[in-house]
Amino acid sequence: MGGKTGSRDEVIIVGGGIVGCSIAWHLSCRGRKSRILERQEPGGLATHAAAGILGPMNETDRPGPFLELMRRSLSLYPDFVARLEEETGLSPDFAQSGILAVAPRPGDRAALRARFDWQSALDPSLVFCDASEARILEPALTGSLDSAIYYPDEGHVFAPRLIKALLGSLARRRIPLEQGVTVTRIVPSGHGTLLVHDREGGCREAEKVVLAAGALLSDIEIPGTRIPVSPVSGQILAVRSPGSFYRRVVFYPPHGYFVPKLDGTVVIGATEESIGTRSRVTPAGLLEFLSPLSSLAPELLDLPLHHVWSGLRPKSPDALPVLGPHPECPELLVAGGHYRNGILLAPVTGEIMADWIEGGTPAHSLPFLPDRFLKAGKE
């Protein structure tokens, strides 16, 4: 078995998905070095599968710290992508094109209106639209439609291009990313640092370690209690649209969405299945989100199929992110459980974790500390 490598890192980040890369980037912007350890392709579990929607208001049914966290991250996006683009010349196809949440039938209107009432109190720019106003905003909505909420400040990004730009920037900043390293165990060294063991027999030493291993985070053995994160599979597809005819992200009931991308594809998704670490695409899964389109936006079903795929979202027991130091081992930090919103939450997660690593206590991360599960587990 291979032994310790000899060198000691300030920070080791386990997992090179959007979350791990964003943390490394934010640390680098503050002049701090880190090393990313990645078992396979960076972002191969979830980041590459994501639809890239940046839509806080459709991701919760109440105001509170989670909505505020998502809104803060959305507000960081324009500067985040502009800096990445400037540094690398790579565009993540960020578009603040607006999002529509639609009520296809009159019976769906009351629930949508109730949502609009509490949300517009937080953000007066929201608009409650009738069917004809919504069709002007999104011409794909040619089928049955009652009303919609329009969120003008929300939008989308192309997640695979975003992580490509992040990786490009990290390479330019000389932040090492080691691929083919599967971390298995993290143990205290006995003199204030942590030892990071991997399946390949290697062992590295770091002052601080951040767990950003997405849906496989719970597989890693750590001091004290493991963080409970489990995979939720999502099936999704893309069709090719002629030109850039479609414009806005649309959320439709019960759980569907479509996202017109800047490259002329329209991404349509997605299922949610708790089937372990299996990732698969099935006709039944695709039907789940395609069937409602036959009455709402039937033309989308006639477009040529471009690609189908699936990925694994990392979900915590309360479906909220897990951000901050492990209570039983403060040198070990957790950045996981981003579930449906890891792309949206990437900038704020990078900011929060960099604050923790620099010795701060970022107030907006306090509702998401890991100890909420570890305390509950002890009762």
Ligand X SMILES: Cc1cc2nc3c(=O)[nH]c(=O)nc-3n(C[C@H](O)[C@H](O)[C@H](O)COP(=O)(O)OP(=O)(O)OC[C@H]3O[C@@H](n4cnc5c(N)ncnc54)[C@H](O)[C@@H]3O)c2cc1C
Between β-strands 177-179 and 322-326, what pairing exists: parallel, antiparallel or unpaired? Answer: unpaired
**Longest CA span, the chain:** 68
Residues 269 and 257 sit within 8 Å (Cβ to Cβ): yes
Give yes or no for residue 202 binding ligand X (CB under 6 A).
no
Q: How far is the CB of 109 from ligand X (least distance, A)?
A: 25
Stretch that binds ligand X, among 37-45, 80-88, 145-153, 167-175 (CB under 6 A): 37-45
- Tokens of residue 256, six digits: 């569907």
Between β-strands 249-252 and 99-103, what pairing exists: parallel, antiparallel or unpaired? Answer: parallel
Q: Is 264 left (phi over 0), alpha (psi -120 to 50) or beta?
A: left
Q: What is the Cα Rg of the chain in Å? A: 21
Stretch that binds ligand X, among 23-31, 176-184, 286-294, 353-361 (CB under 6 A): 176-184
Give yes or no for residue 183 binding ligand X (CB under 6 A).
yes
> Of 149, 212, 293, 296, which one interacts with ligand X (CB under 6 A)?
212
Q: For the segment 69-98, give every residue that binds ligand X (CB under 6 A).
A: none
**CA-to-CA dists, residue 32 to 37, 290, 308, angstroms:** 17, 46, 39
Give yes or no for residue 39 binding ligand X (CB under 6 A).
yes
Report the residue closest to ligand X, judged by CB. 17
State the Cα–Cα distance between residues 46 and 63, nearest whole angstrom. Answer: 27
Give yes or no for residue 46 binding ligand X (CB under 6 A).
yes
What number of H helices and E strands is found in the chain? 9, 18
Give yes or no for residue 179 binding ligand X (CB under 6 A).
no
Total site size for ligand X, rule CB under 6 A: 46
Give yes or no for residue 103 binding ligand X (CB under 6 A).
no
Residue 341's closest CA among 311, 368, 314, 367?
314
Residues 281 and 20 sit within 8 Å (Cβ to Cβ): no
DSSP state of 142: -
> Of 202, 285, 325, 342, which one interacts with ligand X (CB under 6 A)?
342
Stretch that binds ligand X, among 48-56, 112-120, 146-154, 298-306 (CB under 6 A): 48-56
HSE on the CB side for 274, CA within 13 Å?
8
Give yes or no for residue 125 binding ligand X (CB under 6 A).
no
Give yes or no for residue 315 binding ligand X (CB under 6 A).
no
> Of 84, 343, 348, 357, which one interacts with ligand X (CB under 6 A)?
343
> Of 25, 35, 43, 246, which one interacts with ligand X (CB under 6 A)?
43
Residues 13 and 36 sit within 8 Å (Cβ to Cβ): yes
> Of 38, 138, 331, 355, which one interacts with ligand X (CB under 6 A)?
38
> Of 28, 34, 47, 119, which one interacts with ligand X (CB under 6 A)?
47
Between β-strands 147-151 and 99-103, what pairing exists: parallel, antiparallel or unpaired? Answer: antiparallel
| CB nearer to ligand X: pick between 104 and 285 | 285
Give yes or no for residue 57 binding ligand X (CB under 6 A).
no
Q: Which residues bind ligand X (CB under 6 A)?
A: 14-20, 37-40, 42-47, 49-53, 181-183, 212-216, 219-220, 234, 236, 269-270, 311, 313-314, 338-344
